[in-house]
């Protein structure tokens, strides 16, 4: 359509005005939308479970850390030297008292026993010969009168004495001459000398018996020593326990006092801890203790205080005690780090909450108290645990309601629903 030039100008101006009006309307609409979007929505409440803090008499205990140690430990060494012929144990092996640990080659020791036995037999034979010479039996007390030669000499002497007395009467009566009497007296004197000589010989023979008996005793001692050295070739455990070290191997030459194994007794174990000076009046020998180790986080091992140091350390102001911990199944091992709890005789009231209600943030411990549908963050100080509960020493009072679930989602002032 052909319009006049003036109308075209008017038409273009109207189009520009309409476009400007539309653009302004769009800006107003966008501004209202952005303003609506920038408005903060009402926050949603957080679903939580709650429980009331409870007040209960709580048994008190002292807690300290220490390392477990073997109640008994010994290094086993042979009493004789030699080459190892056999090994009966290894590291970790349980052993009984008297059980063979290593055996040393014994051929030389057996030969020495046989040689000593032969020497003893020879000494006994010599003793028997000397006993026979003086008419003694083994164990009989020596008396010269028991020697046959002495008895014969005594009989001859007695006869000579009797004849001499008879000749004395005959000389007095004049029936025999003095020469015959003197001859008879000479015979009696010879019999007496013979008797003394035989007794002297018997005493000499008895001295030979004593020497032979000494030789028998020495041979018996040598035999006992040889047998004992033979027994030393079997190195046995001096106590019941477990092998913690066994450096000896078959074929190795070991000398006296050289360690061939180490044995530890694992039941009971010992644990040593230090207690503060103010707790001394509450500690007694025989009191129960509870021991926990990281290897068994859900278990406690029982024990009793066995030894108490008589003095207090001047540097730390603590006193050392030792407890014996029962370990019948050898589950605990020497060297393990243990937490020891000593139950004290008194109990005190305490505020307890579930452990899941406690939250630690940047090293600080909190719980969330629920009041009027909102969470209040409380800084608390915790104490000892009791099952799944934990003591709250400060920060909340008994019977206050606290959040026990979704605690990690809460913040101070957060709206909650139960």
pLDDT per position as a tens digit, 98-108 = 999 999 999 99
The pLDDT tens digits of the residues spanning 128-147 come to 887 777 666 666 666 666 66
Least confident piece of the model among 31-45, 73-87, 170-184, 225-239: 31-45
pLDDT band at 82 (very low <50, low <70, confident <90, very high): very high
Nearest Cα residue to 137 out of 209, 211, 216, 219: 209
Q: According to CATH, what is the number of the domain 266-346?
A: 2.40.30.170
Looking at residue 228, its pLDDT comes to 93
Looking at residue 146, its pLDDT comes to 66
pLDDT band at 38 (very low <50, low <70, confident <90, very high): very low
Dist. CA 418–CA 404, nearest whole Å: 11
Question: What residues form DSSP beta bridges with 360?
Answer: 365
The pLDDT tens digits of the residues spanning 343-368 come to 777 778 899 999 999 998 888 999 99
Helices (H) and strands (E) in the chain, counts: 4, 21
Dist. CA 270–CA 322, nearest whole Å: 7
> Phi, psi (5° rounding) for residue 372?
55, 35
Dist. CA 300–CA 319, nearest whole Å: 24
Dist. CA 144–CA 142, nearest whole Å: 7
> Phi, psi (5° rounding) for residue 295?
-65, -25
> Phi, psi (5° rounding) for residue 9?
-65, -45
pTM of the predicted protein model: 0.55
Across 306-329, average pLDDT: 91
The pLDDT tens digits of the residues spanning 199-226 come to 777 777 777 778 888 899 999 999 999 9
pLDDT band at 16 (very low <50, low <70, confident <90, very high): low
Percentage of the residues of the chain whose pLDDT score is greater than 90: 41
| Residue 324 clears pLDDT 90, i.e. is over it | yes
Dist. CA 206–CA 145, nearest whole Å: 12
| CATH (one of 2.60.40.1930, 1.10.3720.10, 2.40.420.20, 3.30.70.270) for 50-58+350-417 | 2.40.420.20
Q: Provide the 10 A C-beta neighbour count for residue 168.
A: 14
Report whether the peptide linkage leading into residue 201 is cis, meaning its omega lies within 30 degrees of zero: no
Do 366 and 380 touch, CB atoms closer than 8 A? Answer: yes
| Residue 9 clears pLDDT 60, i.e. is over it | no
């Amino acid at each position: 359509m052909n319009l006049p030039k003036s109308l075209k100008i008017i038409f273009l101006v109207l189009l520009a005005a309409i476009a400007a009006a539309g653009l302004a309307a769009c800006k107003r609409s966008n501004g209202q939308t952005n303003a609506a979007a920038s408005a903060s929505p009402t926050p949603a409440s957080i679903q939580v479970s709650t429980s009331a803090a409870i007040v209960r008499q709580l048994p008190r205990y002292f807690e300290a850390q220490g390392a477990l140690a073997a109640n008994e430990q010994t290094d086993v060494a042979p009493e004789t030297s030699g080459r190892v012929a056999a090994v009966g144990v290894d590291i970790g092996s349980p052993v009984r008292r008297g059980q063979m640990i290593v055996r040393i080659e014994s051929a030389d020791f057996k030969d020495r026993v046989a040689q000593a036995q032969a020497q003893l037999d020879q000494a006994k034979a010599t003793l028997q010969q000397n006993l026979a010479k003086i008419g003694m039996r083994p164990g009989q007390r020596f008396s010269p009168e028991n020697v046959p030669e002495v008895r014969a000499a005594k009989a001859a002497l007695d006869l000579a004495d009797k004849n001499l007395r008879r000749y004395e009467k005959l000389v007095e009566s004049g029936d025999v001459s003095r020469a015959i009497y003197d001859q008879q007296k000479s015979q009696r004197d010879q019999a007496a000398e013979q008797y003394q000589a035989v007794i002297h010989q018997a005493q000499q023979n008895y001295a030979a018996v004593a020497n032979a008996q000494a030789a028998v005793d020495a041979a018996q001692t040598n035999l006992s020593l040889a047998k004992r050295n033979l027994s030393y070739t079997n190195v046995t455990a001096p106590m019941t326990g477990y092998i913690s070290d066994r450096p000896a191997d078959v074929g190795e030459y070991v000398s006296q006092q050289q360690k061939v194994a180490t044995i530890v007794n694992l039941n009971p174990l010992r644990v040593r801890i230090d207690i503060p000076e103010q707790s001394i009046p509450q500690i007694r020998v025989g009191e129960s203790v509870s021991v926990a180790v990281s290897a068994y986080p859900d278990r406690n091992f029982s024990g009793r205080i066995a030894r108490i140091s008589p003095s207090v350390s001047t540097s730390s102001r603590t006193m050392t005690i030792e407890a014996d911990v029962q370990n019948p199944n050898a589950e605990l091992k020497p060297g393990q780090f243990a937490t020891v709890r000593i139950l004290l005789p008194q109990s005190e009231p305490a505020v307890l909450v579930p452990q899941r209600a406690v939250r630690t943030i940047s090293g600080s411990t909190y719980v969330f108290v629920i009041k009027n549908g909102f969470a209040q963050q409380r800084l608390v100080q915790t104490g000892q645990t009791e099952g799944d509960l934990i003591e709250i020493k400060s920060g909340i009072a008994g019977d206050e309601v606290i959040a026990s679930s979704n605690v990690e989602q809460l913040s101070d002032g957060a709206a909650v629903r139960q």
